[in-house]
Structure 1
Amino acid sequence: MKIVILFALVFSALNSFAETILTDVVEVEKINSEYVLFASDGQIYRLNADKDIEDAIRAKELGFMVEIQLDETLDTSEILGHRNNILGISLSSKESMNSFYDSNPSHQKNYSPADLISSYISDFDSEYQVNSLFQSLNGNMRRKSQCYNRAHVWSWELYRISRSAGRIQTGKMWLFFTRKYIREYDYKWWFHIAPYLTVQGQARVIDRTFTNGPLDERSWTNIFMQNNAACPSVSRYTDYENNQNAAYCYTIKTSVYYWQPWQIEGLEKNGQVRDQWQSYEVKKAYKNAFGWRARVPELD
């Protein structure tokens, strides 16, 4: 009887650390002898059961999201750390966000790299000005918030500020980790993102979660690259997608309106241009960053 009670207590304790999240399946691959799921939140999760592998592949083929149960609470604020194990996976009735948004681009046209940055990015005279803006941003976000949502929130907070040259508008700096890097370092992310401004034309990345102030591009990428590898800057999603073993990482700069990676991919493959704020995306970002009761502050 004591053994049964002890087992029940241990099982309950283990479950208390588990967490269920809803995500799109970007890819399912075998890396270093184990199957992993590349999720839309930027994380790479370990798949253990054959059924979970099959369900993940099926969800991607059908274009549905999945609910995955993790073996411990998700913490996206850890740069290194290990991959979370998937304890169970089930197909959701919700279509993937990719499928939903593909039918609602701002407008469509033939691809041009110039469309990645289709609006101005605020430029400043001094490092002091950008550092002051950095320090004004709210860094107290949920530990399991997603980087693309944090980037959207910080960008919106800055956009609310007016100055003589117009509203402050960021660009987005995307860092994509290749299979080469993920394989060699057993890395748990496949992308990261933060906003950026410029000082006399030079990019300064605004990553309130992982830095104490604005950084130049190389200093920022070095935080995440355990080998301090240089990350070539490219202007097409396929430059990253099709060259997984040519470099350890790539960066892509976009305008503020690109919220998730599939929107960059959608621009190149389907001509889906993003050139304005989408209120639904801003609301989703705030709720993920601060909780479901969060409200989007109005423009001043």
Structure 2
Amino acid sequence: MKTFIAAVVMCSLTPAFAAGYLKDFDYQLTDIASKGLTKESLFNKTKTDFMDLEKSICANRAHVWGYDLFRFNKINTGKIFIFFGASIWTKSDKHGYMYHVAPYIVENGTEYVMESSYPSEMKTPVTVEEWIESETYNRVKGSDCLEITAEDTDLTEYFYARQTLPEKRANGKPGARCYIRKVPGHYWFPTSIALHDLKKDADGKKVDYNPQTFDVADVVEACIETASSKIGRFFGGASARTKCEKHLRR
């Protein structure tokens, strides 16, 4: 009987975190339903017309979109990264890449990815599983990607090297053909995650990296890259800067 009572007390003291709680960052995504918002309404307001969706960097696009979700709606959003193993993509692949990233939100306790990089393919928010299958061209099931945390430092080390992640890991740790990592919306690149998790930079110097919100200067830089043509980048991106200043003044 005493054991039963003790168990009940322990359960009552265990924090019940809501969907969208990111323990590594002590960060809670807003459930948009509590704000009277819907995933469709937010998705349909995403601005892409000033961006080069094909040639710009996905992390920069996601950073601008994440900032827009935050500033227009006063909500905490997240980003979801998917990292690929060599059997999915390699650097020698014509269309291969190490990772992809998009904003994600929570509605009524369910996570949805706000993927706007492929307007002809994804016209609505999708579940995490649907997003994984799309990003891997259905080479894996949506449930087959392994979600990693700050404890998976053997994988995070690869973020500095910008390499595909190993599908087999040492010391009996579970591996997969792809990995996902959920972070606060104001985290920008995989290297941002590495700075937080490893507490050191690419040169091994100790750092304390724990940003609490978007750095607007970073958003501007990200925006300019997404809006620049190849020729425009060569000439300093003046046209892109004008587009971004207009967008960010909205």
Place the TM-score, normalised by the shorter chain, in its bin: 0.5 to 0.7
Structure 1 unaligned segments of length 5 or more: list them. 1-112
**Match of residue 257 from structure 1:** 186
* Post-superposition offset of 1:119: 3.3
| CA distances 1:195-249 after superposition (whole Å, capped 9, x unpaired) | 0011122110001122211000010011121312421111135353476122111
SS at match of 1:182: coil
Verify: 1:272 aligned to 2:209, yes or no: yes
Q: Compare relative contact order (CA 8 Å, sep 6+) and give the higher one, 1 or 2.
A: 2
Give, in whole Å, the separation in 2 of the partners of 1:115 and 1:153: 23
Give, in whole Å, the separation in 2 of the partners of 1:180 and 1:238: 21
Q: Are the counterparts in 2 of residues 176 and 240 from structure 1 also a CA contact under 8 Å?
A: no
* Post-superposition offset of 1:169: 2.7
RMSD: 2.7
**Match of residue 238 from structure 1:** 153
Give, in whole Å, the separation in 2 of the partners of 1:221 and 1:132: 23
Give, in whole Å, the separation in 2 of the partners of 1:260 and 1:222: 22
Letter in structure 1 aligned against 2:219 = V
Letter in structure 2 aligned against 1:244 = P
Verify: 1:212 aligned to 2:123, yes or no: yes
**Match of residue 38 from structure 2:** 129
Question: Equivalences for 1:153-168 in 2 at 5 Å?
Answer: 153-162=64-73, 167-168=74-75
Give, in whole Å, the separation in 2 of the partners of 1:150 and 1:256: 12
* Post-superposition offset of 1:176: 0.6
The one of 76, 85, 110 aligned to 1:202: 110
Question: Equivalences for 1:79-94 in 2 at 5 Å?
Answer: none
* Post-superposition offset of 1:277: 1.4
Check 1:199–1:244 CA distance in 2 against 1; reply closer, same or farther (3 A cut). same
* Structure having the larger proportion of residues in strand: 1
Structure 2 unaligned segments of length 5 or more: list them. 1-21, 158-164, 168-174, 200-207, 228-239
Give, in whole Å, the separation in 1 of the partners of 2:90 and 2:99: 14
| CA distances 1:99-155 after superposition (whole Å, capped 9, x unpaired) | xxxxxxxxxxxxxx7343x43312133998111110111122213211111111111
Question: Equivalences for 1:283-294 in 2 at 5 Å?
Answer: 283-290=220-227, 291-293=240-242, 294=244
Give, in whole Å, the separation in 1 of the partners of 2:133 and 2:24: 28
Q: Are the counterparts in 2 of residues 175 and 251 from structure 1 also a CA contact under 8 Å?
A: yes
* Post-superposition offset of 1:184: 11
Counting matched residue pairs gives: 182
| CA distances 1:240-267 after superposition (whole Å, capped 9, x unpaired) | 3476122111000000111010010111
Give, in whole Å, the separation in 1 of the partners of 2:65 and 2:189: 15
Give, in whole Å, the separation in 1 of the partners of 2:129 and 2:80: 11
Letter in structure 2 aligned against 1:179 = A
| CA distances 1:148-201 after superposition (whole Å, capped 9, x unpaired) | 111111111112224xxxx12310011111234325994611000000011122
The ranges of structure 1 where at least 4 consecutive aligned residues each deviate by more than 6 angstroms after the TM superposition are none
Question: Equivalences for 1:31-70 in 2 at 5 Å?
Answer: none
Check 1:239–1:298 CA distance in 2 against 1; reply closer, same or farther (3 A cut). farther
SS at match of 1:235: coil
Letter in structure 1 aligned against 2:187 = Y
**Match of residue 77 from structure 1:** none
Q: Are the counterparts in 1 of residues 153 and 198 from structure 2 also a CA contact under 8 Å?
A: no
Q: What is the TM-score normalised by the length of structure 2?
A: 0.65
The one of 64, 80, 88 aligned to 1:173: 80
Q: What is the TM-score normalised by the length of structure 1?
A: 0.55
